[in-house]
């Protein structure tokens, strides 16, 4: 018997043994990495503005303009201008960037500018909350459905936003109800040193909630938010909003127009689980 024949016989014997009825787990199916690792979704970390509600155009922008008027500041941000300003994370930072570019109004002298900006932002937040209380800003499609599914399955929930904590908490409680709101942890821009696209607010949530980053999914609506998610090392799904539809979402795992009220076609916990690393 030649050496070639011996090798062929050995290969045939090994193959037959692998497929014998008594041998288990000989051939492993090809499955997604998250399923192969047995990972389950532990937490959903929502952005607020543009994700839970499309607040920027018809909420924050109007609140800024009302605050300007009440303080004798001749400023009225158009939809287009505000869309451009959204490239800057944070309301106080947004005002500062705008006036650094176009010139500061006479109503805000150089001395004490930072204090006046802070005062304007607090006033704007109060006006924004009034808009929420009036029912002027509804939740986006599919938000309540996904939140309810998460609560039912024991998936943890958080909102991680660059906005003021008081405004975020009020939006969640008013638009979702106190029972759902009690299931959320709130992490806001005024709690961290650096706002998005820095990952600080997401890393704070992971640390304080004791989460495994590889079992979390972030839901964002902007390239700034995606940048924060990528920097945090957490999978990200994008639900496009009125101001962000044409942005570059490189780094996100999936992009949708909305979460969707219909579970059959919308984003579900299974959808998010498949995004886990």
Backbone angles phi, psi at 24, to 5 degrees: -105, 150
User: Taking Cα atoms as reference points, which of 187, 255, 268 lies closest to residue 221?
Assistant: 255
Distance of CA 167 to the CA centre of its chain: 16
> Residue 277 catalytic?
no
Helix pair 165-176, 113-133: axis angle to 10 deg: 0
Output DSSP code: residue 136: -
Output DSSP code: residue 238: E
The answer to whether residues 259 and 266 touch, using CB atoms and an 8 Å cutoff, is: yes
> Residue 257 catalytic?
no
Output DSSP code: residue 138: P
The answer to whether residues 238 and 220 touch, using CB atoms and an 8 Å cutoff, is: yes
Q: Which of 49, 54, 200, 221 is catalytic?
A: 49
Residues known to be catalytic: 47, 49
């Amino acid at each position: 018997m030649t050496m070639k024949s011996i090798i062929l016989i050995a290969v045939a014997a090994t193959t037959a043994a692998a497929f014998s009825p008594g041998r288990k787990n000989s051939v492993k199916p090809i499955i997604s990495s998250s399923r192969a690792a047995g990972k389950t979704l532990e937490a959903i970390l929502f952005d607020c503005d543009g994700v839970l509600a499309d607040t920027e155009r018809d909420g924050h922008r109007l609140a800024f303009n009302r605050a300007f008027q009440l303080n004798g500041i001749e400023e009225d941000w158009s939809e287009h201008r505000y869309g451009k300003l959204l490239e800057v994370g944070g309301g106080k930072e947004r005002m500062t960037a705008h006036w650094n570019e176009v010139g500061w109004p006479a109503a805000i002298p150089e001395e004490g500018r930072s204090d006046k900006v802070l005062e304007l932002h607090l006033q704007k937040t109060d006006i924004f909350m009034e808009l929420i209380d009036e029912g002027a800003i509804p939740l986006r499609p599919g938000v309540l459905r996904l939140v309810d599914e998460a609560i039912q399955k024991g998936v943890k929930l958080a909102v991680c936003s660059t906005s003021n904590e008081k405004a975020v908490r009020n939006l969640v409680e008013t638009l979702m109800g106190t029972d759902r709101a009690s299931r959320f942890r709130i992490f806001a821009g005024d709690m961290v040193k650096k706002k998005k696209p820095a990952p600080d607010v997401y890393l704070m949530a992971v640390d304080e909630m004791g989460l495994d980053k590889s079992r979390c999914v972030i839901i964002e609506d902007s390239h700034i938010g995606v940048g924060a998610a990528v920097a945090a090392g957490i999978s990200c799904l994008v639900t496009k909003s009125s101001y962000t539809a044409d942005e570059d979402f490189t780094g996100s795992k999936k992009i949708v127009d909305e979460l969707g009220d219909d579970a059959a076609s919308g984003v579900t916990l299974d959808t998010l689980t498949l995004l886990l690393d």
